[in-house]
Amino acid sequence: MENNDLLKSVTEKALVWTNENYDSETQKAVKQLLDNPDKSDLIEAFYRDLEFGTGGLRGIMGVGSNRMNKYTVGAATQGLSNYLKKQFPSLSRIAVVIGHDCRNNSRFFAETSADIFSANGIKVYLFDSLRPTPEVSFAIRELGCQSGIILTASHNPKEYNGYKAYWNDGAQLVPPHDEDVIKEVEKIKSVSDIKFTGNPALIEIIGEEIDKKFIDQIKTLTLSPDSIKRNKDMKIVYTPIHGTGVKLIPRTLKEFGFENIIGVPEQNIVSGDFPTVHSPNPEEPAALEMAVKKAIETNADLVLASDPDADRVGVAVRNDQGEFILLNGNQTAMMLTYYLVRRWKELGKIKGNEYMVKTIVSTELMKTIPEKNGIKCFDVYTGFKWIAATMRENEGKKTYIGGGEESYGYLPEVFVRDKDAVSTCTMIAEMAAWAKNNGLSLYQLMKQIYVEYGFSKEKGVSLVKKGKSGADEIQQMMKDYHSNPPKEIAGSPIILVKDFLTLVAKDNTGKETKLEMPVTSDVLQFFTADGSKISVRPSGTEPKIKYYIEVHDTLKSIGEYDSINVTADAKIAAIRDSLGI
């Protein structure tokens, strides 16, 4: 679309937002965008409609069809309401759960959605205040609901908010439901199509009673209660990074048996402005700085951090010199996989029909560990909804042990169908107590796993490309990779290319194999002769193109760990240089 055509299109779209169907504050803000000689903000606000990606609806808050506001949230909720009524026509009562995190406007969006659902005759269970995302998933299943939503933008910067939609199994929407909900949303052509006037009789406030049931279920996950008893005084620093984890994670750790939970007072303050961090993302070292400082001051053993909606976990452990280092998401997931497999085996829980799940961009060690122990491991697309979909397909047939992804998300239970920082924090703490009981730190345990199952090192690289021009650039980069994939990376020939857009894997002889996946996805993977794996995909929730680099080697002894790390870093640097990232 030419610039003049684009400007004409967004202007026509914006003018609709200045009529009396919209509140006066919205009308005023849109008029200011229209009157501004610089039309870039106008274009960014209206050039497209927000769509469900791997994490649902997510965007910057503000006026416009491409922003998170009362009307885009309203259209999504009305569309979801219409879809639910089509999908469950014979039910006498359709019900949903609504939760929200700490973000600015999250409570407002949650209450707005509650009004719209109830105006459509749908029963609403609305949490009394902020709650972790996994608890919403749990509540959907516990209360027998057909759907649910949580207002959150996860770990995004403070200007973002989002809307995750869930189905009756407590999992995020997957095809065809996600695409069909969008079709229903697209049918909302006017604000007058949205029923904003709620029915209070259909809105029920929930809270502590669900908290207790959720925590009681998490307590059943313990595999090493004796280790916890022996190490109940182990010092654990925990930070919610201003988010909703403050509600349940310290409490759950204590109910699990850990008595020495140390908070970070400045970050226990619930705030959508995230005043102590640039970004509330536990993947970023800066977000854990205050917690690590507190751990040093208190001589703690372990640092745990959750993101604003408490589904992702960041971890810091002491190395052999006693200094705190951060684990990446792959290392945490790999170690949890190892711990679950080992303890299930030692406790005689392995019967032959167990399975685990990982995403295709996560470390291959998450597959190696279970498969070397006779346990099936499924590879799925990025996004926890695909892990949940695999759980749904195998329910009643196979026994789920655990699953996770490199982006700091893990799920060690079946009563939730999304990544869960609440249960994961407890299991990491239990793993630390178990390791300590066996004379090991978590850092030493990690190195032992590398010796036993092979060494890997991973690096994620995200190139941010903001706005429409950025989206266009990302799209072109992916087209180029699909049409003209590299022949070698960092001097190592590519021996296999997996193209998930065509669902074809092609090796270096030209032989093609079909990839068995439920749908296509814009992901490419390059496997090199030296054992490296490079994945590339556009983010479904952020303006980024993402690269996942994984290199492999053999660690013959723990003593070689430092030197093999240096070699791995050099290999990763060479791969980045080769790809120009």
Which residue(s) pair with 314 in the sheet? 305
Residue-wise pLDDT tens digits, 367-397? 999 999 999 999 999 889 999 999 999 999 9
Strand partners, 442: none
What is the dotted CATH code of the domain comprising 48-206?
A: 3.40.120.10
Residue 483 confidence (pLDDT): 93
Residue 399 and residue 480 in contact, taking contact as beta carbons nearer than 8 Å: no
Arch. (CATH architecture) of 214-225+233-453 = 3-Layer(aba) Sandwich (3.40)
Rounded-to-integer distance, Cα 385 and Cα 403, Å:
12
The residue among 398, 397, 401, 356 whose CA lies nearest residue 380 is 356
Distance CA 201, CA 77 (A): 19
Look at residues 463, 280, 427, 244 and name the one whose alpha carbon lies nearest to residue 342.
427
Q: What is the pTM of this model?
A: 0.94
Structure-block tokens of residue 535: 């994945």
State yes or no: pLDDT of 206 exceeds 50: yes
Calculate what percentage of the chain has a pLDDT beyond 90.
91
Whole-number Å distance between alpha carbons of 149 and 163: 7
pLDDT at position 540 over 90: no
Q: Average pLDDT, stretch 526-539?
A: 95
Distances in Å between the Cα of 496 and the Cα atoms of 458, 499, 502, 507, 526 are 19, 10, 14, 4, 6
Strand partners, 379: 358
1: confidence class by pLDDT, cuts 50, 70, 90: very low
Pairing of strands 492-499, 488-489: antiparallel
94 strand-pairing partners: none
Does the fold of domain 214-225+233-453 match that of domain 48-206?
yes
The pLDDT tens digits for 331-373 are 999 999 999 999 999 999 999 999 999 999 999 999 999 999 9
Please name which of 365, 327, 119, 153 lies closest in space to residue 243, comparing C-alpha atoms: 153
User: Could you give phi then psi for residue 316, rounded to 5 degrees?
Assistant: -125, 135
Distances in whole angstroms, Cα of residue 176 to Cα of each of 50, 87, 182, 417: 18, 12, 10, 18
Q: Read off the pLDDT of each residue in 154-176 and give the average, rounded to a whole number.
A: 93
Is position 462 annotated as part of the catalytic site? no
Q: Is the pLDDT of residue 176 over 50?
A: yes
**pLDDT of amino acid 535:** 97
Judge residue 385's burial from the number of C-beta atoms within 10 Å of its C-beta, 0-12 exposed, 13-18 middle, 19 or more buried.
buried
pLDDT of 305 reads 98
Give the pLDDT band (50/70/90) at residue 2.
Answer: low
277, pLDDT greater than 60: yes
DSSP classification of residue 328: P
pLDDT of residue 4: 82
Query: Coil, strand or helix: which one is 239?
Result: strand
* Cβ–Cβ under 8 Å, residues 134 and 346: no
Q: Where are the domains of the chain?
A: 1-43, 48-206, 214-225+233-453, 455-579
Backbone angles phi, psi at 150, to 5 degrees: -135, 135
Start-end of H helices in 177-276? 177-186, 208-219, 225-230, 249-256
Give residue-wise pLDDT tens across range 63-104.
999 999 999 999 999 999 999 999 999 999 999 999 999 999
Q: How many residues does the chain have?
A: 581
Residue 471, Ramachandran bin (φ over 0: left; ψ between -120 and 50: alpha; else beta): alpha
pLDDT of residue 541: 67
Rg of the chain (C-alpha set): 24
Closest CA to 166 of 281, 247, 57: 57
Q: What is the pLDDT of residue 493?
A: 97
Arithmetic mean of pLDDT, 433-450: 98
Dihedral sign from CA coordinates of 430, 207, 76, 183: positive
Q: Which residues contact 579 (CB under 8 A, 6 or more apart)?
A: 486, 489, 534, 547
- Residue for token digits 């961009």? 361
Mean pLDDT of the chain: 95
Residue 5 CA, distance from chain mean position: 37
* Chain centroid, CA 533 distance in Å: 22
pLDDT digits (tens, 9 = 90+) for 40-69: 999 999 998 887 655 568 899 999 999 999
Tell me what pLDDT residue 179 has. Answer: 85
Token output for 492: 């190592």
Lookup: tokens for 135: 């608890």
What are phi and psi for residue 226, nearest 5 degrees?
A: -65, -40
Q: Report the alpha-carbon distance of residue 307 to residue 284 in Å, rounded.
A: 11
Check 137, 147, 154, 492 and give the catalytic one: 154
Q: How many CB atoms lie within 10 A of CB 228?
A: 22
Count of alpha carbons within 13 angstroms of residue 456, beta-carbon side: 29
Q: Which CATH code for domain 455-579? A: 3.30.310
* Cα–Cα dist 446/390, whole Å: 28
Task: Give 261's strand partners.
Answer: 236
